[in-house]
């Protein structure tokens, strides 16, 4: 006797639909390694339908006064809070994340971010109107861009979807959003909730649409003639592909890509506090975070002491099933990711030393032990490339100049942190570190009011904050004759 798998369908123009050609992909719970659902595998006809719905809904949504869009977003935030337990359950089944941590660390910031952008909708600013040519008055209009094609990743399916749809809708755009093919469930529940709010308040159903699918689906979305903007959070490879596809018709592109955050620990740092915070910031969400504290640079005078303490912290860190309230993190997201993380450890050079972990945990699901690796050199693969797993590397440095060189000596430039009691040194480092965010004596806190985004191969554009909101607008100059 077989159990019928749950069917996850596209959300287009206010209704759930199977893929036009009936194709599906399997969806696996990474905590068990077992298939629990099948999701629509969207093709050209589905992309056409979703884009048509978003395009048809755009004029009415664009022309709403900001206060009306604010009402919608505030009601969505309230609805997410009211149905938080459903969202948590869907996200945990998607990702294997601990239920307790999803409840405390993801739902509150998501709701807060939606409410922030609801307020931002009413705070559009531009230069003052004025006469810059005799007999002429100039004004600046800040307008929505149009339909936005958005692609979210599998590491934070709900959170990253929120970072995308909230500023886009607040600015007056309409959305076609694709979750990762491994994590569609929670995004579709969000679509149901958002669609209900839009219907209740009498707004067009096509304002928010969700397409399930794979990389080919994403490519079709980005290359489609309707969207005026393409936004992706994902790997550098995916970002390069999106930028290339969008260039064919000069779409605006917003990219939040990989990271390899340096964590620079000077000799005067509080070692116990640094180890405690860095281990959490490195292992949280199984290290599947572009800003994770996974590349530690420690002054040579405290290197051995720090490594010993960090290895003990790793040994004391627990991974396990979602309902275990004592675990810090759950499984890696999928079998390919488990293979990737394992491969980095298997290919370590002879001069590297695994101080803790370095192996899979159990045979069920995709769990990997908290891992610390020391003895590494700047050009080692594991230093130069994103592992995206619960693996913290440690290098030593002799002075500030060398620390800066090691920190900046990668192709990523998203986030970093500095650990020191010397204020002047902290200020120097914050200037010299070539990263979109520099934390001092902490690592990983984010707030809705401050921007998140990187440089170099970590992409361009900002999430969160007024800067992120402005990324979803365009600027128009209007000049009128006074004659």
Read off the CATH number of the domain in which 199 is found.
Answer: 3.40.605.10
| Distant-in-sequence contacts of 242-251, Cβ < 8 A, 24+ apart | 242/151, 242/218, 245/219, 246/222, 248/223, 249/223, 249/225, 251/222, 251/227
Based on the domain organization, do 443 and 465 belong to the same domain? Answer: no
Catalytic residue status for 290: yes
Based on the domain organization, do 250 and 273 belong to the same domain? Answer: no
Based on the domain organization, do 432 and 300 belong to the same domain? Answer: yes
Based on the domain organization, do 382 and 407 belong to the same domain? Answer: yes
Q: Judge whether 366 and 332 are in contact, CB under 8 Å.
A: yes
Based on the domain organization, do 185 and 235 belong to the same domain? Answer: yes
For residue 452, is it within any domain? Answer: no
- Write down the pTM of the prediction: 0.96
Kindly name the residue from 91, 106, 223, 256 that is annotated as catalytic.
256
Q: What is the pLDDT of residues 317-329, one digit of tens each?
A: 999 999 999 999 9
Q: Judge whether 327 and 318 are in contact, CB under 8 Å.
A: yes
Based on the domain organization, do 462 and 391 belong to the same domain? Answer: no
For residue 253, is it within any domain? Answer: yes
Kindly name the residue from 223, 290, 355, 386 that is annotated as catalytic.
290
Based on the domain organization, do 319 and 346 belong to the same domain? Answer: yes
Based on the domain organization, do 226 and 335 belong to the same domain? Answer: no
For residue 92, is it within any domain? Answer: yes
Based on the domain organization, do 322 and 412 belong to the same domain? Answer: yes
Give the per-residue pLDDT at 126: 72
For residue 49, is it within any domain? Answer: yes
Going edge to edge, which strands form the sheet with 252-256? 15-17, 10-12, 208-210, 174-178, 147-151, 229-233, 252-256, 459-460
Based on the domain organization, do 357 and 373 belong to the same domain? Answer: yes
For residue 1, is it within any domain? Answer: no
For residue 424, is it within any domain? Answer: yes
Q: What are phi and psi of 133, to 5 degrees?
A: -140, 140
Q: Which residues of the chain have pLDDT under 50?
A: 1-2
For residue 51, is it within any domain? Answer: yes
Catalytic residue status for 401: no
Q: Judge whether 444 and 293 are in contact, CB under 8 Å.
A: yes
Rounded Cα distance, 199 and 206, in Å = 10
Range of the domain at 415: 262-447
Q: Judge whether 296 and 393 are in contact, CB under 8 Å.
A: yes
For residue 29, is it within any domain? Answer: yes
Q: How far is CA 1 from CA 4, 7, 38, 77, 231, in A?
A: 10, 19, 18, 42, 44
Count of domains for the chain? 2
Give the per-residue pLDDT at 2: 46
Based on the domain organization, do 144 and 281 belong to the same domain? Answer: no
Q: Residue 417 forms beta bridges with which residues?
A: 263, 439
CATH of the domain at 304: 3.40.309.10
Q: How far is CA 339 from CA 66, 109, 346, 367, in A?
A: 47, 31, 10, 11
Dmax (CA) for the chain in angstroms is 83
Based on the domain organization, do 196 and 227 belong to the same domain? Answer: yes
């Amino acid at each position: 006797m077989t159990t019928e798998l749950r069917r996850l369908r596209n959300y287009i123009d206010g209704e759930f639909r199977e893929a036009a050609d009936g194709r599906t992909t399997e969806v696996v719970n990474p905590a068990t390694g077992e298939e629990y659902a099948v999701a629509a595998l969207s093709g050209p006809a589905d992309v056409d339908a979703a884009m048509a719905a978003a395009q048809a809904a755009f004029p009415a949504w664009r022309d709403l006064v900001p206060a009306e869009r604010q009402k919608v977003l505030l009601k969505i935030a309230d609805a997410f809070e009211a149905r938080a337990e459903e969202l948590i359950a869907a996200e945990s089944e998607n990702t294997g994340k601990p239920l307790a941590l999803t409840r405390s660390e993801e739902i509150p910031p998501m709701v807060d971010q939606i409410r922030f952008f609801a307020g931002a909708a009413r705070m559009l600013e531009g230069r003052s109107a004025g006469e810059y040519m005799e007999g002429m008055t100039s004004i600046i209009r800040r307008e929505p861009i149009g339909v936005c094609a958005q692609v979210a990743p599998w590491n934070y399916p709900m959170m990253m979807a929120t970072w995308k749809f909230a500023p886009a809708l607040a600015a007056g755009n309409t959305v076609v959003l694709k979750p990762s093919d491994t994590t569609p469930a929670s995004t579709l529940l969000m679509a149901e909730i958002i669609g209900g709010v839009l219907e209740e308040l009498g707004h067009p159903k096509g304002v928010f649409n969700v397409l399930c699918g794979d990389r080919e689906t994403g490519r079709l979305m980005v290359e489609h003639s309707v969207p005026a903007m393409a936004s992706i959070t994902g790997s550098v490879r995916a970002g390069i592909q999106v930028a290339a596809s969008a260039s064919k018709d000069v779409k605006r592109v917003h990219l939040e890509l990989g990271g390899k955050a340096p964590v620079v620990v000077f000799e005067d740092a509080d070692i116990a506090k640094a180890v405690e915070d860095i281990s959490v910031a490195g292992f949280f969400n199984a290290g599947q975070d572009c800003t994770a504290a996974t590349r530690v640079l420690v002054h040579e005078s405290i290197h051995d002491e720090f490594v010993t303490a960090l290895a003990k912290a790793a040994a004391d860190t627990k991974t396990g099933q979602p309902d275990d309230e004592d675990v810090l993190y759950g499984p890696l997201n999928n079998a390919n990711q488990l293979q990737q993380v394992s491969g980095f450890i298997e290919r370590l050079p002879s001069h590297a030393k695994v101080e803790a972990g370095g192996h899979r945990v159990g045979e069920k699901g995709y769990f990997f032990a908290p891992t610390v690796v020391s003895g590494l050199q700047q050009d080692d693969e594991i230093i130069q490339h994103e592992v995206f797993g619960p693996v913290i590397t440690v290098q030593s440095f002799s002075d500030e100049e060398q620390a800066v060189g090691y920190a900046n000596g990668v192709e990523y430039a998203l986030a970093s942190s500095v650990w020191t009691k010397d204020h002047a040194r902290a200020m120097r480092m914050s200037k010299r570190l070539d990263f979109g965010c520099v934390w001092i004596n902490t690592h990983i806190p984010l707030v809705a009011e401050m921007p998140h985004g990187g440089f170099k191969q970590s992409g361009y554009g900002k999430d969160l904050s007024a800067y992120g909101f402005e990324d979803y607008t365009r600027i128009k100059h209007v000049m009128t004759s006074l004659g």
